[in-house]
Amino acid sequence: KELENKVERFKRLHRERETQRMPAPECLSKKTIEKRVERARKIYDLFSTIGVDQFQHHRSTS
């Protein structure tokens, strides 16, 4: 039962995100999009390794 609830929640959230996703402009090349995705992944990796606690601590001391 709990697993079913989690699956339903995931499906519901995924549908909402799917509608929020904006199509990429046609003027962007595939290489440009790949560079943006790579940059976003690097930023995500940086902040996921730092951790939310340390990030909030750094923000409050700045």
pLDDT, tens only, 27-39: 778 888 889 889 9
47, 55 Cβ separation under 8 angstroms: yes
Q: How far apart are CA 49 and CA 36, in angstroms?
A: 20
Lookup: tokens for 13: 């959230």
Q: Categorize the per-residue pLDDT at 52 as very low, low, confident or very high, splitting at 50, 70 and 90.
A: low
Which amino acid would we find at residue 15? R
Which residue ranges make up each domain of the chain? 2-61
Q: How far apart are CA 57 and CA 53, in angstroms?
A: 6
